[in-house]
Chain A
Amino acid sequence: MISLETLILITILSPLLVCLLTPFLSSKPVLRDILGPIGGIISSWGAIQLMISVLNGDQPRLELLQIAEGISISFVVTPLGAVFGLVASVLWIFAAIYSVGYMRGNKEANQTRFYVFYAMAVHAALCIAYAGDLLTLFIFYEVLTFSTYPLVTHKQNELAQKAGRLYMSILVGTSVILLLPAIIWVWVVTGSLEMSQNGVLDGNINPEYAPYLLAMFVFGIGKAALIPIHKWLPAAMVAPTPVSALLHAVAVVKAGVFTMLLILTNVFGIEFLSKTGASNWLVWLASFTLLTTSIIAIYKDDLKARLAYSTISQLSYITLGGALASSLATQGATLHIITHAAGKITLFFVAGAIYVGAKMSKISELNGHGKSMPLIFLAFFIGSLSIIGVPPMGGSWSKFFLMLGAAESGYIMVIAVFCISTILNAYYLMEIPARAFFFKKEKEIKVKIPVLITVPTLITCVLTILLFFFIEPFENLTSIMVNNL
């Protein structure tokens, strides 16, 4: 039997190993490209084992390194972390396969560099998932930003450079100016960097200051992309699609909302928040972001840009769920991390498939192409249904819990926000399969989509359906999380 410490190590180190080995295999593309999926399988196996142990009531813990007195790098698997770790590692398998198909199909340059930083980013995301204290969380939050910079600027042209600059300045700027002092503030008032299931601030901070501290966290976590710090996400869409798919729909943004949820539940504590109302303003900010970006998405003709704004809107669901400070809403927010990840990665996979196969990136160009790429558009349709929250797709569960949570904490308006947003979601997402299947084709295009792209897309699409039927273990995890409160 492998000890839990080793399991954590296996899970977080296998992507790092992939990252370190890849440069040595640059002359053997087949071996190099197979490393990613293998790493993904090993790491997901570890993540599943860890999740099972958490379900059995354990709390795996590992202290890696002591930097100075009171500062160390340590890992703890919380129920929330187990969820995020599982999502990041499992989806990495498919994204790794997909990126091989994409990079080859598109004949991109500097493929080795791409795979190195891709694996590095996954490593950082997993370390965030299992971060045992605030400093470890912050460190890998920054590692994630820096490792994705070469991916965003992969094309190395003027546009990519500009996007890269915006990406770095927002993410690094907010985290350094606001997140770091917020963390140190917590350190000063509580005397340690540890987090706990019930929050650590109750009784340690003057409740009057709590909203300000929360604001520093909220605007410091740029990766959660709340208005007005959301601009980096659409800018980052210049990256190759596998990056947008795994990182900007799953790893990076989910690291953002994961951090947000962790701060709300394990630093502030739901009870403290609902008692003091420190997060009331956040409910409205998140609702505002949620609706505004949904409306912006409608006007975007570029498929990836529309998906980017849709992502921002969906991230706000999760932040909102945390800010509602009720146990049901927190459960819903956690479940939404899973269901949205599976749905959105499918949509991005499709966007990339269309780009590689037919060199199209605008929604208005898609008219009538449903017949030449039926499976791809079917996958998009199913993924969209899940995002909208129609049963029998996974997405319906999380929305259900979020609405229950809003009712529980007495925000009737928020329920209305959810309903309006669902309509908007349907409006801007359904346009794409509708154009593909029902509109008249304008011109004939030869379509050729590599198998390595189609297969992962279909698998993640099936995952969104399976999530509806097999949500139970995750629901158990979230109830462990809130029952401890």
Chain B
Amino acid sequence: MTDILIKNLPILVVLCPLMMSLIVVLIPNIFLSWLLTLVSTFVAFIFSILLYQEVQIYSSISYALGNWAPPIGIEYVIDKVSIIPIIIITLIGFLTTIFSSKMMPNEINEASISKVYSLWLLAIAGLIGLVTTGDAFNLFVFLEISSLASVALVAMGAQKDKQALVAAYNYLIIGAVGATLYVIGVGLLYGITGTLNMADLSERIIDLKNNKALIAGFGFMIVGIMVKAAIFPMHIWLPKAYAYAPSAVSVLLAATATKASLYILARILFSIFDISDTLITNTLTYVILPLSILAMFAGTIMAIYEKDIKRLLAHSSVAQIGYITLAFAIGTKASIAAGFIHMFNHALIKGALFMAITSISFYIQKRVTLNNLSGLGKTMPITFFCFVICSLSLVGLPLTAGFISKLYLIKASISAEGIWIALLILFSSALSVIYLWKMIEALWLHQPKKKIIIKEKPIIYISLLVITFLNIYFGLDASFIVDSSFEAAEKLVGVSK
């Protein structure tokens, strides 16, 4: 029994939320649909832990879907690289589902809740599938599943604020353009290599150096994924989508959605193609590196001038994505590992910050802006405490998870490219103190206009506390994430680099 379970884990981790989404849509009861969602995300999380243990033993697990051996059939691959985003997605999926129990009924009418949870599971399943699949076209399918589900989820915010419709529409159109570009790229590669299996692709393109179609295909794929990963300047869909989505959806998307796309980016750059290829090194130094630096500063500066807090955090996400792509762009083993470390830590940080802000908006029943944060620090001590810890983690204060990512990122950039990139990273993270400090000051030092009495509910703050705890825990004992990221980087670029 357990043997069969273990053997089929790579597909079960995707199927569990996917199948459940079909069941949940039929259930009219709010509580029951939430509970089923919770159970399936929890099971998916357990599966991902089991997979992690498997990967520790076998290093790479290949699963042939329907027993059709790759490269003919679709292959699912779980190795030391893909396990990191899988854990992020399932962990955050589980925690945000707990968090959503009070948020959803507050913002969405009773009749649509089961549909929302169905979409919710579909989005999670899509993201997991995206990461597990070893097939370039299957990847496109999952990319669309997760994107369309996310678009629909964002649009659900319209029940509270009509702007959500515009945001969802933007997201849909730009996302569709991105996906189309990607699939054109895949088509071109398929045309010249005759395979869709990623491992197979990477072997067959070695002989095709300087093939024009190959270069074009690569370009299409990269740009398509960059749109999905919200890499500056293709991030324009992101701030609005995050800002107007229903609360729990913002948390889920902010913590997971772009991470999966960033993982795909790394896969294409380093796994399908080869880091020693001049095509890749040129893309890294002349495209991704400057864009990342721009993203770091543009996102941060936009955040400084933003008054709406959800949008502010979304702009900050653009900057943080910049750090991750910057790490990839430096292109050494240490820097790619740093990128993965930050991918993981940023999911924890941004998830927690969005949770804190959306729970504040739940209590005050308003959109959260800088002005109506005044004095709430004292009325909501637990939320405030978590918010402060995670803000410090975002800045990269010692003893938090964020520090570990900054540390490795800077170390990698100093040892690779010289000191100037490190200084830019630190300068932009020092700038990020400004917007975080504005919020903390408003929460802590400003006096409220009128007295608000709030009683914090455990069901809302429990997941916030867990993520905050993880932020501190991974700041004190980072060996899990550091070791797995270095193994992932080694898998991607080889031992030598």
Interface residues of A (CB under 8 A from B): 65-69, 71, 135, 138-139, 142-143, 146, 153, 156, 161, 165, 168-169, 172-173, 176-178, 180-181, 184-185, 187-188
Q: A69 contacts which chain B residues (CB < 8 A)?
A: 479, 482-483
Tell me whether B410 and A184 are in contact (CB under 8 A).
Answer: yes
Measured in the bound complex, the distance between the Cα atoms of B483 and A142 in whole Å is 26
Question: A136: nearest residue on chain B (CB-CB)?
Answer: B398
* Contact status of A68 and B445, CB under 8 A, knowing A177-B427, A180-B426, A184-B411: no
Measured in the bound complex, the distance between the Cα atoms of B54 and A420 in whole Å is 73
**Docked complex: B349-401 residues within 8 A CB-CB of A:** 392, 395-399
Distance in Å: Cβ of B372 to nearest Cβ of chain A: 19
Q: A187 contacts which chain B residues (CB < 8 A)?
A: 411
Q: Tell which of B397, B414, B475, B477 touches A142, judged by Cβ atoms closer than 8 Å.
A: B397
Q: A185 contacts which chain B residues (CB < 8 A)?
A: 414, 419
Tell me whether A181 and B419 are in contact (CB under 8 A).
Answer: yes
Q: B407 contacts which chain A residues (CB < 8 A)?
A: 71, 184
Distance in Å: Cβ of B253 to nearest Cβ of chain A: 29
Distance in Å: Cβ of A215 to nearest Cβ of chain B: 12
Tell me whether A181 and B426 are in contact (CB under 8 A).
Answer: yes
Tell me whether A67 and B477 are in contact (CB under 8 A).
Answer: yes
Query: Can you list 10 A-B pairs with a CB-CB distance of less than 8 A?
Result: A68-B479, A138-B398, A139-B398, A142-B398, A143-B398, A146-B397, A176-B395, A178-B426, A180-B426, A188-B411
Could you tell me how many residues of chain B have their Cβ less than 8 Å away from some Cβ of chain A? 31
Question: B395: nearest residue on chain A (CB-CB)?
Answer: A176
Judge whether B404 is part of the interface by a CB distance below 8 angstroms: yes
Measured in the bound complex, the distance between the Cα atoms of B419 and A33 in whole Å is 48
Contacts beyond the supplied A69-B482, A184-B407: 18 A-B pairs with Cβ under 8 Å? A66-B477, A67-B479, A68-B404, A68-B482, A68-B483, A69-B483, A142-B398, A153-B445, A156-B445, A161-B445, A173-B433, A176-B433, A177-B423, A177-B430, A180-B426, A181-B414, A181-B419, A184-B422
Q: B415 contacts which chain A residues (CB < 8 A)?
A: 188
Q: B445 contacts which chain A residues (CB < 8 A)?
A: 153, 156, 161
Judge whether B437 is part of the interface by a CB distance below 8 angstroms: yes
Q: A138 contacts which chain B residues (CB < 8 A)?
A: 398
Tell me whether A65 and B422 are in contact (CB under 8 A).
Answer: no
Distance in Å: Cβ of B178 to nearest Cβ of chain A: 35
**Docked complex: B407-457 residues within 8 A CB-CB of A:** 407, 410-411, 414-415, 419, 422-423, 426-427, 429-430, 433, 437, 441, 445
Q: B479 contacts which chain A residues (CB < 8 A)?
A: 66-69
Q: A139 contacts which chain B residues (CB < 8 A)?
A: 398-399
* Contact status of A169 and B433, CB under 8 A, knowing A67-B476, A142-B398: yes
Tell me whether A180 and B410 are in contact (CB under 8 A).
Answer: yes
Q: A142 contacts which chain B residues (CB < 8 A)?
A: 397-398
Tell me whether A176 and B476 are in contact (CB under 8 A).
Answer: no
Q: A184 contacts which chain B residues (CB < 8 A)?
A: 407, 410-411, 414, 422
Judge whether B478 is part of the interface by a CB distance below 8 angstroms: yes
Name the 8 nearest CB pairs between A and B, nearest first.
Answer: A139-B398, A68-B482, A68-B478, A188-B415, A177-B426, A181-B422, A68-B479, A188-B414
Measured in the bound complex, the distance between the Cα atoms of B410 and A69 in whole Å is 16
Distance in Å: Cβ of B300 to nearest Cβ of chain A: 14
Distance in Å: Cβ of A74 to nearest Cβ of chain B: 14
Question: B434: nearest residue on chain A (CB-CB)?
Answer: A169
Tell me whether A176 and B426 are in contact (CB under 8 A).
Answer: yes
Interface residues of B (CB under 8 A from A): 392, 395-399, 404, 406-407, 410-411, 414-415, 419, 422-423, 426-427, 429-430, 433, 437, 441, 445, 475-479, 482-483
* Contact status of A67 and B397, CB under 8 A, knowing A173-B430, A184-B410, A185-B419: no
Measured in the bound complex, the distance between the Cα atoms of B445 and A156 in whole Å is 7
Distance in Å: Cβ of B117 to nearest Cβ of chain A: 38
Q: B477 contacts which chain A residues (CB < 8 A)?
A: 65-68
Q: A68 contacts which chain B residues (CB < 8 A)?
A: 404, 477-479, 482-483
Q: A66 contacts which chain B residues (CB < 8 A)?
A: 477, 479
Distance in Å: Cβ of A157 to nearest Cβ of chain B: 10
Tell me whether A181 and B430 are in contact (CB under 8 A).
Answer: no
Distance in Å: Cβ of B484 to nearest Cβ of chain A: 11
Q: A177 contacts which chain B residues (CB < 8 A)?
A: 423, 426-427, 430
Measured in the bound complex, the distance between the Cα atoms of B445 and A177 in whole Å is 26
The residue among A143, A165, A177, A178 with the most chain B CB atoms within 10 A of its own CB is A177
Q: Tell which of A65, A67, A169 touches B404, judged by Cβ atoms closer than 8 Å.
A: A67
Measured in the bound complex, the distance between the Cα atoms of B402 and A176 in whole Å is 13
Measured in the bound complex, the distance between the Cα atoms of B419 and A184 in whole Å is 10
Distance in Å: Cβ of B426 to nearest Cβ of chain A: 5
Measured in the bound complex, the distance between the Cα atoms of B473 and A68 in whole Å is 12
Question: A145: nearest residue on chain B (CB-CB)?
Answer: B397
Distance in Å: Cβ of B264 to nearest Cβ of chain A: 27
Measured in the bound complex, the distance between the Cα atoms of B440 and A165 in whole Å is 12
Question: A153: nearest residue on chain B (CB-CB)?
Answer: B445
Measured in the bound complex, the distance between the Cα atoms of B76 and A170 in whole Å is 51
Q: B441 contacts which chain A residues (CB < 8 A)?
A: 161
Distance in Å: Cβ of A354 to nearest Cβ of chain B: 29
Measured in the bound complex, the distance between the Cα atoms of B404 and A180 in whole Å is 12
Question: B426: nearest residue on chain A (CB-CB)?
Answer: A177
Q: B410 contacts which chain A residues (CB < 8 A)?
A: 180-181, 184
Q: B396 contacts which chain A residues (CB < 8 A)?
A: 176
Measured in the bound complex, the distance between the Cα atoms of B476 and A169 in whole Å is 26
Measured in the bound complex, the distance between the Cα atoms of B397 and A178 in whole Å is 14
Distance in Å: Cβ of B483 to nearest Cβ of chain A: 8
Tell me whether A176 and B399 are in contact (CB under 8 A).
Answer: no
Q: B404 contacts which chain A residues (CB < 8 A)?
A: 67-68
Q: A165 contacts which chain B residues (CB < 8 A)?
A: 437
Tell me whether A176 and B398 are in contact (CB under 8 A).
Answer: no
The residue among B426, B427, B477 with the most chain A CB atoms within 10 A of its own CB is B426
Distance in Å: Cβ of B166 to nearest Cβ of chain A: 37
Tell me whether B423 and A181 are in contact (CB under 8 A).
Answer: yes
Measured in the bound complex, the distance between the Cα atoms of B456 and A63 in whole Å is 40
Q: B411 contacts which chain A residues (CB < 8 A)?
A: 184, 187-188
Q: A178 contacts which chain B residues (CB < 8 A)?
A: 426
Distance in Å: Cβ of A214 to nearest Cβ of chain B: 14
Measured in the bound complex, the distance between the Cα atoms of B410 and A187 in whole Å is 11
Q: A176 contacts which chain B residues (CB < 8 A)?
A: 395-396, 426, 429-430, 433
Question: B414: nearest residue on chain A (CB-CB)?
Answer: A188
Q: A180 contacts which chain B residues (CB < 8 A)?
A: 406, 410, 426
Measured in the bound complex, the distance between the Cα atoms of B337 and A408 in whole Å is 49
Q: B430 contacts which chain A residues (CB < 8 A)?
A: 172-173, 176-177
Measured in the bound complex, the distance between the Cα atoms of B411 and A146 in whole Å is 24
Measured in the bound complex, the distance between the Cα atoms of B418 and A181 in whole Å is 11
Tell me whether B478 and A67 are in contact (CB under 8 A).
Answer: yes
Q: A143 contacts which chain B residues (CB < 8 A)?
A: 398-399
Measured in the bound complex, the distance between the Cα atoms of B459 and A307 in whole Å is 53
Distance in Å: Cβ of B77 to nearest Cβ of chain A: 27
Measured in the bound complex, the distance between the Cα atoms of B419 and A71 in whole Å is 21
Distance in Å: Cβ of B388 to nearest Cβ of chain A: 10
Question: A186: nearest residue on chain B (CB-CB)?
Answer: B414
Measured in the bound complex, the distance between the Cα atoms of B410 and A180 in whole Å is 9
Question: A65: nearest residue on chain B (CB-CB)?
Answer: B476
Distance in Å: Cβ of A136 to nearest Cβ of chain B: 9
Measured in the bound complex, the distance between the Cα atoms of B397 and A142 in whole Å is 8
The residue among A146, A156, A184, A187 with the most chain B CB atoms within 10 A of its own CB is A184
Measured in the bound complex, the distance between the Cα atoms of B285 and A327 in whole Å is 48
